[in-house]
Structure 1
Amino acid sequence: MTSRFLPYATTPGRLTAQLISDLLAAAWITIWVMVGLGVHRAIAEIATVGTQVKDGATGISDNLSSAGDSADRIPLVGDAVSTPLRAASEAALDLAGAGQNLNTTATWLAILLAIAVAAPPILAIGMPWLFLRIRFFRRKWTVIALAQTPAGEQLLALRALANRPLRRLTEVNEDPVGAWRRQDPHAVRGLAALELRSAGVARVTSVR
């Protein structure tokens, strides 16, 4: 985990916390994806009914239409017999259209309801997690880049003087401000290391 291109800390405690947060976020997202898929499957059953209605009504319509064609050939009464059969065939076609509409509507409803159920809780956790991870990665990238130059290391040391607890500063040097002003290499490196650790970076191997 030492690469600056990885969005993870190199300090053990923070790295552990990040890995645990990743696992929790992944588990949360997985749970709600499964819930969304369950909702989709439940609503999709209605679409299956619509398909069955369409297929059945289409078959009945075809049979009635064939019967009408056959009845039309009956002498004298053929027209009288075929007319109601053809009317029934058209009614069956209307029913088939209704089944197709039910299938289409239920299919889209299944998708929309699955998204409506799963998306809010996923976004509620996923977006803050992603924001914090991106912010951490940008800070890690910046402090590592600064630590590669003497001037950048001094800037990190100055930030440590402004932001780190006094106890931590005095552990580096009894007079941390004076040591920084004198550009004491050991003190500057120690103060910069405090700022690096606060950003989740254990150490930077070289300074140009």
Structure 2
Amino acid sequence: MNSQKILSVIWRGFPNTLTLLIWSFIFATILGLALTWLDLRKNRFARGIATVYLNLVRGTPPLLMLLMAYYGLPVLLKAIGIDIDHWTRMTFGVLGLTLGWSGYLSEAFRSAYLSVDRGQIEAARSVGMPDRTTFWQIIIPQAAMIALPNIENLVVGLVKATSLVYVIGLYDLYNQASNLSNQTAGLHQLQIFVLLALTYWLLVLVIEALFRLIRRRYRQMI
């Protein structure tokens, strides 16, 4: 079996891998920002909710999170009268990865925010700048720049984590390669998985290039 044929089969799973990556990152970012907001509040109850969630999520393997989302959540919700059996495997895949990565992104956002010198807030107040303006025009731009390297690492990790959706039967890059290996009785197994590794590497290189572009543009803006 030639490499072109193998790649044509593997790349049938690329749309699902890309869909998982994009939507999981978007929803994990939104949830991560909400968790960061709760964690930074002075309200003990809000901080307690964020702390419990973050500890639970960061202490649970992503594979287990996917299995719990796919097999456990429908049973749990059905007990209170909510039926989600009609949800697609893609929906459960996005949900599982979102829950897992929201905790890591929240920590990246929180640490970046706390890394900004608090003295700048007092300096802004001394010249009469409103706190809201200080937050959006001074604190957030610096925190975003600090957070970018960690976010990039997390996105790269998310790319690799998408391969875990094979456990719920979703046909991504890894599942396509694995099935092809099984169909050929393992005769081309090494060739197949080397080409799969190169495919993931290429995707990571594209992501790293995008983040370099974002950092370059962002530096120009601030």
- Pair in the same fold by TM > 0.5: no
TM value normalised by structure 1: 0.31
Larger radius of gyration: 1
Structure number with higher relative contact order (C-alpha < 8 Å, ≥ 6 residues apart): 2
